[in-house]
């Protein structure tokens, strides 16, 4: 088993982040220890106090802005056929880029859809069992907002945004995260609706109330409204890459392993819930300021 050197690890993580849209959105931390705490800068507020020259400024505790990571081991095997190396005239740099991108796609999927209670033995199910992802954590925090039966994606987003407190709506970095298929449906809804009102296209970008950007995130199963910086993903620097000859497949098996974790700050965040009958009203999630 080969432990990547520091320089190689930094480059490998850089390749991962650059190849996946979700990892570029969130607070992605390179951890030095499997169990540790890191401050989340976007939540560090109200720490400055005005004092006179004769006063001593009191130190403020920033503990409430800390994210506690307790990482879980993630192992991802990959077979690279010899034909890939031959046909693409690849060198070790291109192979490393390929491995990093495949690893990153699985990590993004885990961060989004992880569920330790997942049933089944498929590759996807086994991957989801590693840890709870952002969708699972928001549901566990009772941040679901139900919507009317047969509601369109446009109506779902309006319902979610309306459930947020005013202090959340004032956040300039608030985003609507939506899966690819739902994003396509939403685009068609807005383009064909002359009275969409709160959702409309601004320079080719879908925005809510003219300021909250709607971002397409592949493989996301539910619509989420959140400041992406409040989603903190951590990956330990101790990344192992082992290569083994796999003659049956005329290729090489590459096994990458590392320790990862994801922590979500659920305040000022909501997630798509379930359909309600027409005569039933939705109950906004609890928590946060009114």
What's the whole-model pTM score?
0.84
Q: How many angstroms separate the CA atoms of 101 and 17, rounded? A: 9
Q: How many angstroms separate the CA atoms of 132 and 85, rounded? A: 36
Q: Tell me the pairing of strands 212-216 and 175-178.
A: parallel
Tokens 């890459």 map to which residue?
241
Looking at residue 214, what is its pLDDT?
Answer: 93
Which of these, 228, 187, 223, lies nearest to 207 by C-alpha position? 187
Looking at residue 112, what is its pLDDT?
Answer: 96
Q: How many angstroms separate the CA atoms of 235 and 151, rounded? A: 38
Report the largest interatomic distance among the alpha carbons of the chain, rounded to a whole angstrom. 78
| Residues 153, 159, 165, 169, Cα dihedral to 10° | 30
Residue 149, helix vs strand vs coil: coil
Looking at residue 290, what is its pLDDT?
Answer: 43
Looking at residue 143, what is its pLDDT?
Answer: 96
Which of these, 231, 243, 237, lies nearest to 258 by C-alpha position? 237
Where along the chain do the CATH 3.30.2400 domains lie?
2-40+63-132+231-264
Which of these, 288, 284, 285, 242, lies nearest to 265 by C-alpha position? 288
Q: State the fold for domain 2-40+63-132+231-264.
A: Major capsid protein gp5 fold (3.30.2400)
Contact status, residue 236 vs residue 260, Cβ threshold 8 Å:
yes
DSSP symbol at 223 = -
Looking at residue 272, what is its pLDDT?
Answer: 95
Segments of the chain with pLDDT less than 70? 1-3, 45-50, 57-64, 88-91, 192-201, 278-290
Contact status, residue 197 vs residue 161, Cβ threshold 8 Å:
no
Which of these, 273, 271, 269, lies nearest to 147 by C-alpha position? 273
As a 3-state breakdown, the chain gives helix, strand, coil percent values, each rounded to 5, of 35, 30, 35
169 contact partners, CB below 8 Å, separation of at least 6: 161, 209, 212
Measured CA angle at 213 (ends 209, 216), to 5 deg: 135
């Amino acid at each position: 088993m080969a432990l990547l050197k520091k320089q190689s690890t930094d480059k490998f993580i850089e390749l991962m982040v650059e190849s996946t849209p979700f990892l570029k959105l969130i607070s992605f931390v390179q951890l030095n220890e499997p169990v540790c705490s890191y401050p989340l800068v976007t939540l560090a507020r109200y720490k400055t106090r005005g004092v006179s020259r004769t006063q001593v400024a009191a130190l403020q505790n920033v503990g409430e802005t800390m994210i506690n990571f307790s990482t879980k081991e993630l192992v991802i095997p990959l077979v690279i056929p010899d034909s890939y190396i031959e046909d693409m005239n690849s060198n070790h740099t291109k192979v490393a880029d390929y491995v990093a991108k495949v690893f990153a796609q699985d990590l993004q999927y885990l961060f989004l859809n992880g569920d330790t209670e997942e049933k089944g033995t498929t590759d996807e199910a086994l991957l989801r069992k590693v840890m709870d992802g952002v969708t699972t954590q928001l549901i566990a925090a009772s941040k679901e907002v139900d919507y009317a039966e047969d509601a369109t994606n446009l109506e779902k987003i309006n319902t979610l945004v309306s459930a947020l407190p005013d202090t959340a709506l004032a956040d300039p970095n608030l985003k609507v995260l939506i899966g690819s298929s739902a994003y396509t449906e939403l685009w068609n809804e807005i383009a064909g609706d002359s009275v969409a009102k709160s959702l409309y296209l601004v320079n080719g970008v879908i925005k809510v109330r003219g300021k909250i950007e709607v971002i397409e995130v592949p493989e996301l199963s539910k619509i989420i409204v959140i400041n992406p910086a409040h989603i903190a993903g951590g990956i330990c620097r101790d990344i192992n890459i082992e290569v083994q000859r796999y003659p049956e497949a005329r290729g090489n098996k590459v096994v990458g392993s590392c320790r990862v974790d994801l922590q979500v700050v659920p305040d000022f965040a909501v997630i798509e819930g379930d359909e309600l009958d027409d005569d039933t009203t939705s109950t906004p999630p609890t928590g946060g300021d009114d």
